[in-house]
């Protein structure tokens, strides 16, 4: 019953942009709409701790994961999941391959200790579409397909009085079944540039 209520709220709170697409609230629903060409990233190779950004090039789809322009505290990851160093930051995915029409991931909010926590999640896509929904924990899935090119996605968590951090795992990036995939030139995985924690932060803790 609780899952059904969350899904209903999520669908009802979509604000369409100039080119609205379709929302998918399960991996199966997204996979049914995606074409044969897609990539999946479980972030199992990501090291714990702070990092400025993460760059991935799969040869067909490429993207950068970073935080919003202001502030620029960077990402902070733990246990193979992606999050932010500051609760004021959002997770931003910039698609650099110019061929993305389908995306999906587990999206939820965590507290400073990376435990799942209640919050209001806001996902904004480059076409202006915004979805607002309550955080459903690490099993909550958000997917989106569009005939219009998706160039970026922003994921934000609002905890009102208490700090909450946008958190993401199991990212799917691809196209829809009615669109052809244009491969990119072969490229190696980009290195991960590590940044030190700011002085106000404790070691292995977020603020």
Q: How far is CA 45 from CA 1, 54, 61, 106, 189, in A?
A: 35, 11, 18, 17, 12
CB 166 within 8 A of CB 84: yes
Q: How many CA atoms lie within 13 A of 39 on its CB side?
A: 18
pLDDT at residue 39, as a whole number: 93
pLDDT at residue 185, as a whole number: 37
Structure tokens at 122: 């806001």
Domains in the chain (CATH in brackets) are 2-176 (2.60.120.260)
| Mean residue pLDDT across the chain | 78
Task: Output the CA torsion 87→89→90→95 (10° steps).
Answer: -150
Residues in the chain where the model's pLDDT stays below 70:
1-20, 69-71, 177-207
State yes or no: cis peptide before 55, omega within 30 of 0.
no
pLDDT at residue 108, as a whole number: 97
CB 56 within 8 A of CB 92: no
The pTM of the whole model exceeds 0.75: yes
| Geometric angle at alpha carbon 202, from 198 and 206, rounded to 5° | 80
pLDDT at residue 142, as a whole number: 92
pLDDT at residue 205, as a whole number: 57
pLDDT at residue 179, as a whole number: 52
pLDDT at residue 160, as a whole number: 83
Task: Output the CA torsion 127→90→173→65 (10° steps).
Answer: 120
């Amino acid at each position: 019953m609780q899952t059904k209520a969350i899904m209903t709220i999520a669908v009802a709170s979509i604000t369409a942009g100039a080119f609205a697409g379709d929302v998918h609230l399960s991996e199966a629903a997204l996979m049914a709409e995606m074409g044969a060409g897609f990539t999946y990233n479980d972030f199992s190779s990501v090291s714990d701790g702070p990092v400025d950004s993460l760059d991935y090039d799969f040869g067909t789809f490429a993207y950068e994961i970073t935080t919003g322009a202001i502030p620029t505290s960077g990402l902070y990851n733990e246990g193979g999941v992606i999050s932010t160093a500051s609760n004021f930051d959002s997770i931003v995915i910039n698609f650099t391959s110019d061929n993305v029409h389908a995306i999906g991931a587990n999206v939820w909010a965590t507290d400073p200790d990376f435990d799942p926590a209640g919050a209001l999640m806001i996902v904004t896509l480059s076409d202006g579409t915004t979805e607002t929904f309550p955080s459903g924990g690490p099993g909550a899935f958000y997917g989106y397909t569009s005939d219009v090119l998706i160039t970026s996605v922003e994921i934000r968590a609002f905890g009102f009085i208490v700090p909450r951090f946008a958190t993401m795992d199991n990212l799917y990036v691809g196209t829809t079944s009615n669109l052809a995939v244009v491969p990119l030139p072969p490229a190696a995985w980009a290195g991960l540039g590590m940044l030190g924690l700011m002085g106000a932060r404790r070691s292995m803790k977020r603020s």
